[in-house]
Amino acid sequence: MQIIKYPARADWEPLTRRALAEQSATVAEAVSAIINNVRSRGDRALREYEQKFTGAMLESLLVTDEEIEKAESTTATGLKQAIDAAAANIELFHAAQKPRQELVVETAPGVICRQKAVPVQRAGLYVPGGNSPLFSTVLMLAIPARIAGCRHVELCTPPAADGSVHPAILYAAKRAGVHAVYRTGGAQAIAAMAFGTETVGRADKIFGPGNRFVTEAKQQVSLLGTAIDMPAGPSEVMVIADGTANAQFVAADFLSQAEHGPDSQSILLTADEGFAESLPEVISSLLAQMPRREMMEKSLSHSRIILLHNDNEIMEFSNLYAPEHLIINHSRAAELAAEVTNAGSVFIGPWSPESAGDYASGTNHTLPTSGHARAYSGVNIDAFMKKITFQQLSPLGIRSIGRTVEVMAENEDLAAHKLAMTLRIEAVNNQTK
């Protein structure tokens, strides 16, 4: 693992670049072809892609109620209890985010403006398969959708080679209130939810993380009329630590990120040179015990330890990088956390591993990656809602703002806009005669 000592400011921006960015043009071309194929050929294209990518020869894309019931009976009791406990915390935190009342403001005499939060009607959820059955992601997406009041919630996830969906994913989907589960993954699943097929319904908005192909697909369909939550691609963690940090804790945080996939990235920022130089050996020692060692080594090959001069530089660099996950394992953790302006989710102190937020603390683990935390939030209740404004003017309202509207419309050369108000002003004036 590369240790970079005291990089010049001019070198900071290149150090924030994520792995595999150079492949984006190739990925974009491949994803565009998949989207066009699914859009024109529907279910047939989905079946062909699943056979190509997963080996599954599917008779039905829709998971049946019988399969879901069987999944519930075959999922271990201990796992169901863990899912239920995590779901309860996620529900508690996200329910507290729901708007409690409609906003009503009288902006001028006789002019009443309202804002009402309304749920997205059809939510499409994507749950990755690949290296792990991410049943936790089902909870993170479907529970907020249910709390928000989405009328229809559908979920796409890659099948196994035999066409089955992992029982824990199906149990979590039932527990969280998903209405339909489809066995299809990758860019093809995003295309199916964006445009609809004979089986998969068309979604108003698509949510969920994925690899660079899924992220690219989400970005492409967002230009074709389907909203998305955020660009959420290969996962990443940044750890801020000083000499007081437990090196094994930090090493374990590095490795927990690395096992998300070979594209993942872990970064350590520290001003303690001794800690920076000793950490690779601790990581190697723990890595030797990991079952996914070979894949994790690929992730660690583009992970970095960056030595900076002081905490001020550390926070500047962190906010420039805008990490998906930010762990502050530092004697001044609370103070440094107050300086965070760009991050998906922040874990404060030595007892707050990323894995707590990934599963059961209650916060959402679907977060912006690749620097998008500079502008995007992680998934929350607002992501599943839209806010509609209403206004109602009385004759008094026409008197209050009518002339303002006329003057502004006239000076923008929009004569019909002015006329719509002028006619009402005249009608109100005639009423008072």
- Residues labelled as active-site residues: 324-325
- Contact yes or no for 314/330 (Cβ under 8 A): no
Residue listed under structure tokens 């192909």: 213
- Contact yes or no for 44/197 (Cβ under 8 A): no
Residue type, 9: R
CA distance 221 to 413: 36
Tell me the longest C-alpha to C-alpha distance in the chain: 91
| Burial zone of 293 (CB within 10 Å; 0-12 exposed, 13-18 middle, 19+ buried) | middle
φ and ψ at residue 234, rounded to 5 degrees: -50, 135
β partners of residue 347: 327
The pair of structure tokens assigned to 43 is 């279910």
Angle of CA points 417, 418, 423, to nearest 5°: 110
Tell me the pairing of strands 103-108 and 111-119: antiparallel
CA distance 342 to 148: 26
Rg (CA), the chain: 26
CA distance 109 to 44: 60
- Contact yes or no for 346/337 (Cβ under 8 A): yes
- Contact yes or no for 203/124 (Cβ under 8 A): yes
- Contact yes or no for 384/119 (Cβ under 8 A): yes
